[in-house]
Structure formats: structure tokens, C-alpha cells
């Protein structure tokens, strides 16, 4: 059982809300009320953190067929706020977990509880219609995720996927990619011409045997400080057991903090027993200076549509 931490409410600088929400989606079991706006909380820290990668779900939700794993617990917005409250976390980005597939109802219902503070990244089928995408945008969605672990990445480099991703780019949304490092060169070269920002999850998941010499990781470094590419320094424990510190250093040196994002990856699915929220923040503070962390937070607010 998780113990919720008691905190004293205060007012943080609120981000601008997204466009007015569409009709409240039909929420699955455990979904949240749209009227339940959640206030930020007081902390001893003067540094406000933007967490660009978390997941919320319950075991009562319908699960996608063909999933790689199933949830072992319930992790709601209330649990998330209890975990983040002591750490000065302001804005938060919800990423649709792969085991829920394209049913984004729970994510949308959670966004409705705190529309000033939350944004969303959804998972969709390539034939999703424009009305659905528009409704997602009004609810606070700012991008789509391609989770290509265990899949042939070439499928998203041809129709109907390129047609969908062109519509995503036309909305000013981002394309978030989780893929093995070896697949990144073709993905980046194939998707960058669409014009959408490309957000690469979890350091680009380089092959731990190759480390920073992994060709996919080298392709990230070659993208430069002015390209369409952003990299999440998140989920260090998803790097095959390798120490992520050299990855963070190389990315910072080549891309600068304006092309980096930090995410806790809460609730650390499949690693819940060995990871805490404080662990991720300790890494962030070890890797980046206060000035670099401030630049990273500004990048996150701009990219995900929060107030600067």
C-alpha cells in the first residue's frame, strides 16, 4: 500500500490551459472527475521541475492484446501527486502506456482533472480520424507515441503511418519514439522531413555492449543543437544495465540542454521495487548544473505547450 504524503497547498506559477475541453470522455473504471482540478503543492525547493514522462493507469482498465507485460498495481493521479509533491514538480506530461493500446480514455479523464498542469501523449492507430485528433488536442494532448520495441520500425516509414504522422505534424504536435538504438538512424532520417519535433525516449536505448559508440546513439549526437530532435534523459534502468552517466554527458555536450528533456518514468513499470522518484531527480542533479536544469525546464515548457 502506498502512503500518501501530507502537504500544504500553495500557488505555483500556473501554465496556460489548453483550448477548451471537448465533451468529457467516457472514462473507464477508476477515471477522474473533470471538475477535480488539483492544486500544486508547497515544497522546500526553489527549483520547479517539469516531468515529461509519467504513466497513470489501474488494473481495472481493459488491456491491449499482444502487450509485452501487464500492470501489477494501480497508479492514479492522486498517487502521482503524492509521489511528486515533496520534490518541487510543477508541470507533468502523461504518456499513454503501451499495455493500454489506443484506448486513451483514462489519460484524457486524468488530463481533465488538472488541465493547467498536465499535458498528454497518446497512442493511436494510423486510421484515427481528424475529429478524434482535434478532440484530443482540445483536451491537452500534444503528441503521439510510437512504441516500436519488438516491432519492425519500417512499418511507420510508409503509408498509412506516414499519412497519420503528416497530420500530426500539421497540428504542431510532436512524434515521440521508443525504439532500440539500432533502429534510430532510419527512423530519424525517415520521419524528420515531416517537420514534427521528434522526441526520443530513454536516451535512445543504445546497445549496452556498444555504449556511446552505438550507431543510433551517434545519430542522436549528430542531430545538433538546431535540429528537430529532442532526447529524454529518462529511464536509465532501461539501458540494459549500462551506466547512463556517459550517455547524459555526451548528449549534453553535443545537443545542449535546449534539446534535452527529463522524465521520471514514474511508476517505473517492471522496476517498481528498485526505483524511487528521488532516484531520478538525483541523477538529473548529478548530470546537469542548476543553469542547465533551468534551460531544460524552459525547453520542456515550450515543447509541451506550458506557460514560459
Query: What pLDDT does residue 259 have?
Result: 97
Query: What pLDDT does residue 67 have?
Result: 83
Query: What pLDDT does residue 39 have?
Result: 46
- One pLDDT digit (tens) per residue for the chain, 308 residues: 333 333 333 333 334 444 443 333 333 333 333 334 444 444 444 688 999 999 999 999 989 888 887 888 999 999 999 999 999 999 999 999 999 999 999 999 999 999 999 999 999 999 999 999 999 999 999 999 999 999 999 999 999 999 999 999 999 999 999 999 999 999 999 999 999 999 999 999 999 999 999 999 999 999 989 889 999 999 999 988 899 999 999 999 999 999 999 999 999 988 888 899 999 999 999 999 999 999 999 999 999 999 87
Three-class HEC string of the chain: CCCCCCCCECCCCCCCCCCCCCCCCCCCCCCCCCCCCCCCECCCCCCCEEEEEECCECCCCCCCCCCCCCCCCCECHHHHHHHHHHHCEEEEEEECCHHHCCCCHHHHHHHHHCCCCEEEEECCCCCCCHHHHHHHHHHCEEEEEEECCCCCHHHHHCCCHHHHHHHHHHCCCEEEEECCHHHHHHHHHHHHHHCCCEEECHHHCCCCCCHHHCHHHHHHHHCCCCCCEEEEEECHHHCCCCCCHHHHHHHHHHHCHHHEEEECCECCCCCCCCCCHHHHHHHHHHHCCHHHHHHHHHHHHHHCCCCC
Predicted model pTM: 0.84
Q: What is the dihedral of CA 240, 208, 145, 301, to 10 degrees?
A: 100
Reported as half-sphere exposure (CB side, CA atoms, 13 A), residue 277 has a value of 17
Cell of 16: 496556460
Residue of 202, 106, 193 lying closest to 148 (CA atoms): 202
Query: What pLDDT does residue 270 have?
Result: 83
CA-based torsion, 232, 82, 98, 134: positive or negative: negative
In whole angstroms, give the CA distance from residue 177 to residue 200.
5
Alpha carbon 161 to chain centroid, angstroms: 21
In whole angstroms, give the CA distance from residue 142 to residue 52.
12
Reported as half-sphere exposure (CB side, CA atoms, 13 A), residue 181 has a value of 24
Pairing of strands 198-200, 174-178: parallel
Amino acid at each position: 500500500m502506498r502512503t500518501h504524503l501530507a502537504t500544504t497547498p500553495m500557488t505555483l506559477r500556473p501554465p496556460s490551459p489548453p483550448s477548451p475541453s471537448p465533451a468529457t470522455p467516457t472514462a473507464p473504471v477508476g477515471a477522474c472527475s473533470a471538475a477535480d482540478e488539483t492544486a500544486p503543492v508547497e515544497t522546500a525547493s526553489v527549483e520547479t521541475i517539469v516531468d515529461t514522462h509519467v504513466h497513470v493507469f489501474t488494473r481495472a482498465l481493459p488491456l491491449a492484446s499482444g502487450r509485452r507485460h501487464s500492470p501489477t498495481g494501480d497508479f492514479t493521479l492522486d498517487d502521482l501527486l503524492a509521489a511528486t509533491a515533496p520534490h518541487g514538480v510543477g508541470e507533468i506530461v502523461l504518456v499513454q502506456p503501451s499495455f493500454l493500446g489506443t484506448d486513451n480514455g483514462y489519460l484524457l479523464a486524468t488530463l481533465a482533472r488538472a488541465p493547467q498542469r498536465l499535458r498528454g501523449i497518446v497512442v493511436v492507430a494510423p486510421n484515427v480520424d481528424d475529429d478524434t485528433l482535434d478532440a484530443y488536442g482540445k483536451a491537452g494532448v500534444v503528441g503521439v507515441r510510437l512504441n516500436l520495441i519488438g516491432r519492425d520500425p519500417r512499418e511507420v516509414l510508409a503509408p498509412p503511418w506516414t499519412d497519420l504522422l503528416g497530420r500530426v505534424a500539421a497540428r504542431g504536435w510532436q512524434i515521440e519514439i521508443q525504439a532500440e538504438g539500432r533502429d534510430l538512424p532510419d527512423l530519424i532520417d525517415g520521419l524528420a522531413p515531416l517537420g514534427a519535433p521528434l522526441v526520443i525516449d530513454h536516451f535512445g536505448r543504445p546497445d549496452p555492449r556498444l555504449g556511446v559508440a552505438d550507431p543510433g546513439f551517434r545519430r542522436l549526437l549528430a542531430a545538433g543543437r538546431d535540429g528537430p530532435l529532442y532526447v529524454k534523459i529518462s529511464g536509465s534502468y532501461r539501458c540494459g544495465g549500462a551506466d547512463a552517466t556517459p550517455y547524459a554527458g555526451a548528449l549534453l555536450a553535443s545537443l545542449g540542454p535546449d534539446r534535452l528533456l527529463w522524465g521520471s518514468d514514474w511508476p517505473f513499470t517492471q522496476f517498481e521495487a528498485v526505483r524511487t522518484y528521488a532516484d531520478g531527480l538525483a541523477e538529473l542533479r548529478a548530470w546537469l548544473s542548476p543553469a542547465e536544469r533551468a534551460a531544460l525546464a524552459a525547453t520542456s515548457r515550450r515543447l509541451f505547450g506550458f506557460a514560459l
